[in-house]
Structure 1
Amino acid sequence: MPGQKLYPRATVKKIVKAHSNCNVSKNADVMMFLDYMLFMQNLMKEAAIEAKKGGERGITARSVRKVTADSLARFRG
């Protein structure tokens, strides 16, 4: 689907502005999306490591839950 955006930028900006009562700069939504993607990548990597240590065959909800707090702490800013 050429030309289709990954997410509606204007909607994201409106939501952030409504929750934070601050103006959002031109490319802030792009930076938030990239930060989210880095967080998810880190979360899955850590969950895979935890799953291997626990002897599981793949990533499970339990392994994700175990590493969520550490990953969130690493990305708070």
Structure 2
Amino acid sequence: MTRIYPRATLRKIIHAHEPTLKLSKNVDIKIYVLYLLFLQRLVAEANRQAQLTHDSIVQSRHVSRALKMVLQQFKG
């Protein structure tokens, strides 16, 4: 089975940010899934922002507005 993302690289990144933190066996998978959900919501919200301004293309200003909203949802 092929992997979608490099698990070792993700674990190294996590360890670099929190070196004293003990990680469970599949924590990298959980973090990756949350990352994908975040990106999915960000894209959907940016698309909604573009539709509200009657633009056919999502621009950086739409993503910036959407980012504020999505970060509030994921804050916790």
The bucket for the TM-score relative to the shorter chain is: 0.7 to 0.9
For the aligned residue pairs, the C-alpha RMSD in angstroms reads 1.3
Structure 1 segments unaligned to the other structure (5+ residues):
none
Structure 1 counterpart SS, 2:44? helix
Structure 2 counterpart SS, 1:72? helix
Match of 2:25 in 1: 26
TM-score for the superposition, normalised by structure 2: 0.86
Structure 2 segments unaligned to the other structure (5+ residues):
none
**CA distance in 1: counterparts of 2:75 and 2:31, whole angstroms:** 12
TM-score for the superposition, normalised by structure 1: 0.85
Match of 2:63 in 1: 64
**CA distance in 2: counterparts of 1:15 and 1:70, whole angstroms:** 26
Match of 2:8 in 1: 10
Match of 1:43 in 2: 42
Structure 2 counterpart SS, 1:71? helix
Percent of aligned positions that are identical: 35
